[in-house]
Amino acid sequence: MSDTRINHTGIIDLAQLTDSGPTQDQVLLSIQDLQVWFELRRFGFGRAGFVHAVDGVSFDLHEGEAIAVVGESGCGKSTLMKTILGLYRPTRGKVVFEGRDISEMGRQDLRGYRSKVGYIQQDPYGAMAPFMTIEQVLEEPLLINTNLSRSQRMQRIEEVLTEVKLTPVGEILPKFPHLLSGGQQQRVIIARAMMLNPKLIVADEPVSMLDASVRVEILRLLRGLQESHHLAVIYVTHDLSTVRYFSRRIFVMYAGNIVEKALTQDLLASPGHPYTEALLAGTSDPDANNAKTYKAIPPGEPPSLITPPSGCRFHSRCPYAIKGLCEVEVPPEFKLQSEHLAACWLHRKAEV
Amino acid sequence: MMTSDSPLLRIEDLVLHFRTSKGSVRAVDGVNFGLDFNEAVVVLGESGCGKTSLARAILRLLPRNVEDFSGRVFLNGKNVMAYKDEEFRQKVRWQQMSFVPQAAMNSLNPVLKVGDQVAEPLIFTRGVSKQEAMQQARHMFQLVGVPEGFLQRYAFELSGGMRQRAAIAMALVTTPELVILDEPTSALDVLTQANIFNVLKHIKENMETSYILITHDIATSSELAQKVAVMYAGQMVEISDAPSFFHMPLHPYSQKLLNSVPRLHGDKEPDFIVGQPPSLLSPPTGCRFKARCPFRFEKCEQEPPMFMKDGRLVKCWLHA
**Shortest CB distance from A245 goes to which of B194, B222, B262?**
B262
Give CA–CA dist B71/B3, Å, rounded. 14
Chain A residues lying within 8 Å of B40, measured CB to CB = 291
Distance from CA of B198 to the nearest CA of A (A): 6
Give CA–CA dist B88/B79, Å, rounded. 11
| Mean pLDDT, range A26-54, rounded to an integer | 88
Distance from CA of B128 to the nearest CA of A (A): 33
Residue B23 or A1, more confident = B23
pLDDT at A211: 81
Establish if B215 belongs to a structural domain. Answer: yes
pLDDT at A23: 52
Residue A69 or A43, more confident = A69
**Shortest CB distance from B190 goes to which of A183, A216, A279?**
A279
- What confidence tens digit (pLDDT) does each residue in B71-95 have? 999 999 999 999 999 999 888 999 9
Chain A residues lying within 8 Å of B201, measured CB to CB = 291, 294
B17 in the same domain as B77: yes
Reply yes or no on whether the pLDDT at A296 is more than 90.
Answer: no
- What confidence tens digit (pLDDT) does each residue in A152-164 have? 999 999 999 999 9
pLDDT at B3: 43
DSSP classification of residue B93:
B
The 3-state DSSP class for residue B230 equals strand
In this structure, what are the phi and psi dihedrals at residue B283, rounded to the nearest 5 degrees? -60, 150
In this structure, what are the phi and psi dihedrals at residue B41, rounded to the nearest 5 degrees? -110, 135
Does B269 contact A11 at a Cβ distance shorter than 8 Å? yes
Reply yes or no on whether the pLDDT at A20 is more than 60.
Answer: no
| Mean pLDDT, range A3-31, rounded to an integer | 56
B184 in the same domain as B171: no
Does B222 contact A281 at a Cβ distance shorter than 8 Å? no
Chain B residues lying within 8 Å of A209, measured CB to CB = none
Reply yes or no on whether the pLDDT at B131 is more than 70.
Answer: yes
Establish if B303 belongs to a structural domain. Answer: no
B87 in the same domain as B188: yes
Query: For position B246, which CATH number holds?
Result: 3.40.50.300
Does B190 contact A298 at a Cβ distance shorter than 8 Å? no
**Shortest CB distance from A291 goes to which of B162, B225, B266?**
B225
B184 in the same domain as B82: yes
pLDDT at A196: 94
Reply yes or no on whether the pLDDT at B286 is more than 70.
Answer: yes
Does B272 contact A215 at a Cβ distance shorter than 8 Å? yes
Chain B residues lying within 8 Å of A215, measured CB to CB = 260, 262, 272
Establish if B51 belongs to a structural domain. Answer: yes
Collect all residues with Cβ–Cβ distance below 8 Å to A1 and sequence separation of at least 6: A20, A64, A227, A230
Does A295 contact B194 at a Cβ distance shorter than 8 Å? yes
Establish if B291 belongs to a structural domain. Answer: no
Does A211 contact B47 at a Cβ distance shorter than 8 Å? yes
Chain A residues lying within 8 Å of B213, measured CB to CB = none
B249 in the same domain as B216: yes
B188 in the same domain as B68: yes
Distance from CA of A153 to the nearest CA of B (A): 29
Least confident of A148-162, B102-116, B296-310: B102-116
Chain B residues lying within 8 Å of A297, measured CB to CB = 191, 194-195, 198
pLDDT at B48: 85
Chain A residues lying within 8 Å of B217, measured CB to CB = 212
- What confidence tens digit (pLDDT) does each residue in B167-218 have? 999 999 999 999 999 988 877 888 888 988 999 999 999 989 999 999 988 9
Searching chain B, which residue's CA lies closest to the CA of residue A216? Answer: B272
B120 in the same domain as B44: no
Searching chain B, which residue's CA lies closest to the CA of residue A183? Answer: B276
Establish if B299 belongs to a structural domain. Answer: no
Give the domain range for residue B129. Answer: 107-175
B215 in the same domain as B161: no
Residue B126 or B13, more confident = B13
Collect all residues with Cβ–Cβ distance below 8 Å to A234 and sequence separation of at least 6: A61, A67, A68, A69, A81, A84, A200, A201, A202, A203
Using 50, 70 and 90 to split pLDDT, how confident is the model at B116?
A: very high
Chain A residues lying within 8 Å of B276, measured CB to CB = 181, 183
Chain B residues lying within 8 Å of A288, measured CB to CB = 222, 225, 242-243, 245-247
B188 in the same domain as B90: yes
B159 in the same domain as B118: yes
Distance from CA of A22 to the nearest CA of B (A): 24
Does A285 contact B201 at a Cβ distance shorter than 8 Å? no
Give CA–CA dist A213/A215, Å, rounded. 6
Mean pLDDT score across all residues of chain A: 88
Least confident of A118-122, A224-228, B106-110: B106-110
- 3-state secondary structure labels for all residues of chain A: CCCCCECCCCCECHHHHHHCCCCCCCEEEEEEEEEEEEEEECCCCCEEEEEEEEEEEEEEEECCCEEEEECCCCCCHHHHHHHHCCCCCCCEEEEEECCEEHHHCCHHHHHHHHHCEEEECCCCCCCCCCCCCHHHHHHHHHHHHCCCCHHHHHHHHHHHHHHCCCCCHHHHCCCCHHHCCHHHHHHHHHHHHHCCCCCEEEEECCCCCCCHHHHHHHHHHHHHHHHHHCCEEEEEECCHHHHCCCCCEEEEEECCEEEEEEEHHHHHHCCCCHHHHHHHHHCCCCCHHHHHCCCCCCCCCCCCCCCCCCCCCCHHHCCCCCCCCCCCCCCCCEEEECCEEECCHHHCCCCC
Using 50, 70 and 90 to split pLDDT, how confident is the model at B255?
A: very high
Establish if B294 belongs to a structural domain. Answer: no
Do A108 and A145 form a contact (C-beta atoms < 8 A)?
A: no
- What confidence tens digit (pLDDT) does each residue in B91-110 have? 899 999 999 988 777 788 99
Mean pLDDT score across all residues of chain B: 90
B218 in the same domain as B154: no
Does B258 contact A283 at a Cβ distance shorter than 8 Å? no
pLDDT at A18: 45
B183 in the same domain as B83: yes
**Shortest CB distance from A214 goes to which of B195, B265, B272?**
B272
* Residue A103, number of CB atoms within 10 A of its CB: 14
Residue A80 or A208, more confident = A80
The answer to whether the pTM exceeds 0.90 is: no
pLDDT at A7: 41
Reply yes or no on whether the pLDDT at A6 is more than 70.
Answer: no
Domain count across chain B: 2
| Mean pLDDT, range A72-81, rounded to an integer | 88
Establish if B140 belongs to a structural domain. Answer: yes
Interface test with B, best of A213, A237, A238 (most B CBs within 10 A): A213
Establish if B306 belongs to a structural domain. Answer: no
